[in-house]
Amino acid sequence: MILTIIVFILVIGILVTVHEFGHFVVAKLSGVKVEEFAFGFPPKLWSKKKGETRYIINLLPIGGYVKMLGEEENIKDKRSYSTQPTKKKVAIIVAGVVMNLVLAWVLLAIGFAVGMSPLISSPDSIHGQRLKTSIIIAETKKDSPAEKAGLKQGDEIKGFEVDGQNIVLGQGSELTNFTKSHKGETITINYLRDGSTLSAQVILSDDETQPLGVASIDNSIIRVEWYRAPVVAAVETAKIFKLTFSFIGSLFQGIFTKGQVSGDVGGPIAIYVYTGMAVKLGVMAVLQFVALLSVNLALVNILPLPALDGGKILFIVLRRIMGKHFMQEKIENIIHTVGFALLIGLMILLTIKDIKRFF
C-alpha cells in the first residue's frame, strides 16, 4: 500500500509537472514574466523564490498551475501575458498539451527499446524481437465452461493437463486449436492470477468457435532496436490518442443523450487503484499507465470548456475574431472560475462513484 501511495504521488506529480513545465518554458521563451510555478493546490507546503519566479509545492496533488503577469487582468507591460499577440498566447497554452503527448511518446519509446507489450497495436504489426508471449483472458462469456470453472478477466492461461500430459501454451492460436480439438472433453486448465498458479477442471462445450468460452489476447513483450523505438512509440501514441478521442466523444454523447456518465470513467481513487495494479505488474506496466494517463490528460485539457486549456484558447480566438471588446477579462475570469468549480464538483462526484465501485 505504501509503495502504491508513493507511485501514485509520483505519477500525478510527473503528469502535472510536465504539463505545467510546457506552459512555463514557452512563456519564458516568449518573454512573459512567470510569477509562480506550482505543483498541487493550496494549502501551501513549501515555496522558494528564484529569480523572478516563486516555485511552490502545495498539499493537494491533483493539479498545478503557472501564474503569469497579466494572465487574470489587463496589465500594460511588454512582459505581460495580456499584451502578447494571439499566436504567442495560443502557443503558451498549447505547450502543456504538447508536453503531455511528448511524455507519452518518450515513455513508450523507452519501453519498446527495453521490451514492452504494445497497448493498442497488434504484436504482429511490430517488427522486433518477441521476448515473451502470454495468453490473457480479455472476456469470459456468460454461462460458459470458463465462467463455471471460475476463470476471470485478466487471468493468464499457462496450459492444460489432459490424459496425464502437461501441455504448455505460447500463443492464442494454440489455445484455440487445442480447445477445438478437445470439444466436449473434461480437462484441467492451469492459469496465473495475481502471481499465484491455480488450476481448475473444465468441461469444454461443443461450440465450434469457442469451446472454452473466452476471448483472449496475446500479451507479447517486444523489443525493437533503440533507433526504431521512437518511430514505433509515435505510432502507438497516435493510436492511443485516436482511441481516447473516440472514448471522450462517446462519453459526452452519453452525457447529453442519456444524462449519465459511463461506468468506465474514474476519478482520483480509480487512478490510485489502477496505479496499484500497475505496480504489481512491474515497471513497464507503470510506464504504460503513465503514458496512457498523459494522453488522456492532453486530450481532456484541449477540450473547449471553461477552466481548461481548450476553453482559454476558445476565448482567445473569439476575441481575435470579434475584437478586443468581445468580453471583459473580469467576466471571462468569472466564467473560468465557475468552470473550475464545476470540474472540482465533477471530481468529487467521480470520487464518490469510485468509492462505491471499488470499496
3-state secondary structure 183-208: CCCEEEEEEEECCEEEEEEEECCCCC
Of 193, 215, 212, nearest to 149 by C-alpha is 212
By the 8 A CB rule, do 284 and 109 touch?
no
Where does CATH 2.30.42.10 sit in the chain? 130-222
To the query of whether residue 20 is one of the catalytic residues in this protein, the response is yes
Kindly state the average pLDDT of the residues 252-263: 66
pLDDT confidence tier of residue 18, bands split at 50, 70 and 90: very high
pLDDT over threshold 70, residue 307? yes
Kindly state the average pLDDT of the residues 319-346: 78
What is the per-residue pLDDT across 261-284, written as a single tens digit (0 to 9) for each?
655 666 677 777 778 777 777 888
Of 40, 25, 35, nearest to 96 by C-alpha is 25
Question: Which of 151-165, 192-206, 251-265, 310-324 shows the lowest mean pLDDT across its residues?
Answer: 251-265
Of the residues 20, 71, 236, 332, which is catalytic?
20
239 Rama sector, left if φ>0, alpha if ψ -120 to 50, beta otherwise: alpha
Which residues neighbour 308 within 8 Å (Cβ) at sequence distance 6 or greater? 300, 301, 302, 339, 343
Q: Using CA atoms, how far apart are residues 65 and 49, in angstroms rounded to an integer?
A: 16
Q: Using CA atoms, how far apart are residues 246 and 345, in angstroms rounded to an integer?
A: 24
Here the cell at position 221 is 513483450
CA dihedral over 302, 304, 306, 309, signed as positive or negative: positive
What pTM did the predictor assign?
0.81
pLDDT for residue 264: 61
What is the per-residue pLDDT across 55-77, written as a single tens digit (0 to 9) for each?
999 988 777 899 999 988 888 89
Q: Using CA atoms, how far apart are residues 233 and 43, in angstroms rounded to an integer?
A: 38
Question: What's the CATH code, domain 130-222?
Answer: 2.30.42.10
pLDDT confidence tier of residue 4, bands split at 50, 70 and 90: confident
